[in-house]
Amino acid sequence: MSCDKTITTPVVEATLDVTAKYNQLMQDSLGDDSLYMRSKDTLLRTFDDLQITEKEKAELVLSFVTQFSIQLSNVAMQSSLAWAKEERDGAYALGLVRSQARLAEAQTLKAIEEICKTEKETELVCAQITATIAGSIRDNGGVSTYDSDGCRPLTLLDEGTKYEQQQQMQADTYSRYADAYRKSGVVEIAVDTDGVKKAFEGINGPGGYTHQQEINAERLRLSYEDTKRNHVANSSANMIASMLTAEIDVNPDDVQRWRDAIDYLNDSDNSTLPTPLTP
């Protein structure tokens, strides 16, 4: 059905064509096979059987014609008037019936559309509820326990994107702690006398590869010193041996330098070195 925004109503001229209908009714009422002609013939046949004068016949005929004409004219006029009114009002009545039928059809279609709209709105609300619940389960996981009213969640199952994000955060935190421990060992963050936060060795002692790098660096520095002293001791020993072989008097100061180098290499105090890591 086309939903037009405008309604076109046919315009019918309000005229009463009574005269034509009256003449038609009068012709039919006075025709050869009409009731009038039959009544007149019956009256004339009755005159033949009655012993009445011509004057009485004329009076009876006049009375019959007068009464019949008046009655016939009144009936014809009323019938023609009613006929004309029916023709005039019939178009309006038919248009009204059609309009009422269209109105009823439109109201039916409107009711159907409202029902469909209500159903679609219900489906939309259901879809929105489903999406909300599904999104909540996807993010928060399923509910494990509720309160006594059965409405407020108390605990959740270990599932959902937020739970996985929490697990990832804990894993990242653990990874940072592990990396920091591996790098710096066990330390204690405290505030010194100047109010500055600093890291101090913890109760478990130093550790971490940073501490090991310090040990290696100090060990390398000491090895340079040892190598230097070793060269001094070797050079002094070679010089003293050559002088003794050539029976040249050895300067006591040269001998003392050689002894100092040997004593350094043999008796060097390494207590200042950082404590190495226990394998």
pLDDT in tens, 233-270: 888 888 888 878 887 887 888 788 788 878 877 765 54
The pLDDT value given to residue 117: 93
Which range (7-21, 44-58, 167-181, 251-265) has the least confidence? Answer: 7-21
Contacts of 219 by beta carbon, 8 Å cutoff, 6+ apart: 273
Residue at 12 is within a domain: no
Residue 87 lies in a domain: yes
Same domain for 196 and 179, yes or no, is yes
Classify residue 147: in a domain, yes or no: no
The residue out of 206, 225, 240 marking a domain boundary is 206
Residues 29 and 130 reside in one and the same domain: yes
Q: How confident is the model at residue 46 (pLDDT cuts 50, 70, 90)?
A: confident
For residue 183, being part of any structural domain is answered with: yes
Among 54-63, 100-109, 166-175, 188-197, which stretch is predicted with the lowest mean pLDDT? 188-197
Check pLDDT > 50 for residue 278.
no
Shared domain for 27 and 65, answered yes or no, is yes
Total domains in the chain come to 3
User: CA-CA distance, 186 to 201, in Å (whole number)?
Assistant: 7
Q: Are 212 and 277 in contact (CB under 8 A)?
A: yes
Residue 196 pLDDT: 67
**Domain match, 25 and 130 both:** yes
Is position 85 within any domain? yes
Angle between helices 54-140 and 35-49 (to 10 degrees): 150
The arithmetic mean of pLDDT across residues 30-59, rounded, is 70
Is the pLDDT score of 204 beyond 60? no
Supply the range of the domain harboring residue 230: 208-279
Residue 173 has pLDDT above 80, yes or no: yes
Query: Residue 7: inside a domain, yes or no?
Result: no
End-to-end CA distance of the chain: 92
Residue 170's identity, in one-letter code, is: Q
16 or 93, higher pLDDT: 93
- Cα–Cα distance, 158 to 45 (Å, whole number): 120
| pLDDT at 271 (0 to 100) | 44
In sequence order, which residues have a C-beta less than 8 Å from that of residue 154 and are 6 or more positions away? Answer: 144, 145, 146, 147
More confident residue, 164 or 221: 164
Q: What is the pLDDT of residue 206?
A: 57
Same domain, 214 and 266: yes
> pLDDT: is 178 or 47 the higher one?
178
Are 50 and 131 within one domain? Answer: yes
**Whether residue 126 is found in the same domain as residue 39:** yes
183 and 212, same domain (yes or no): no
Are 169 and 201 found together in one domain?
A: yes
**Within a domain: 238:** yes
Asked whether residue 227 falls in the same domain as residue 269, the answer is yes
- In 3D space, the residue among 165, 171, 206 whose CA is nearest the CA of residue 188 turns out to be 206
pLDDT top residue among 213 and 26:
213
Same domain, 53 and 84: yes
pLDDT at position 113 is 92
Whether 216 and 272 map to the same domain: the answer is yes
Express the helix, strand and coil content of the chain in percent, nearest 5 each: 70, 5, 25
In this prediction, residue 42 carries a pLDDT of 73
CB 76 within 8 A of CB 22: yes
pTM here is 0.38
Could you tell me if residue 9 is inside a domain?
Answer: no
Average pLDDT value for residue range 54-60: 74
